[in-house]
């Protein structure tokens, strides 16, 4: 299977070099290079792939948690609105196994 970078190279006819070692990458320079390349892109399928990638990354965390977790958060907010709160030390003791 052809990876994303290889498909970009094949479809655009240009060599697309994305730096893989982010520890040595100047991220601002890479973003500008990507923007420049993207601005000249005319292939709707590649643009659609970028839009799909962006949409996957833009998922709201609220939608990623379970219904039970949402319910507990809502219950906690209602309790806080009423002034029914617990000291920080109690909360930390109760949830330390998840931290």
The domains of the chain are located at 4-58, 62-98
* Residue 3: per-residue pLDDT: 56
pLDDT of residue 9: 56
- Other C-beta atoms closer than 10 Å to the C-beta of 8 total 20
CA distances from residue 40 to 6, 23, 57, 61, 85 in whole angstroms, order as listed: 18, 28, 23, 33, 55
Q: pLDDT over 90 for what percent of the chain?
A: 39
On whether the pTM is more than 0.75, the answer is no
């Amino acid at each position: 299977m052809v990876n994303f970078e290889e498909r970009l190279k094949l479809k655009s006819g240009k060599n697309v070099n994305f730096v893989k070692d982010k520890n040595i990458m100047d991220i601002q320079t890479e973003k500008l290079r990507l923007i420049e390349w993207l601005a000249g892109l005319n292939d709707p399928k590649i643009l659609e792939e970028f839009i799909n990638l962006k949409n996957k990354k833009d998922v709201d965390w609220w939608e990623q948690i379970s219904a039970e977790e949402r319910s507990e958060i809502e219950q906690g907010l209602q309790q806080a609105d009423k002034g029914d709160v617990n000291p920080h030390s109690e909360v930390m003791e109760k949830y330390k196994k998840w931290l």
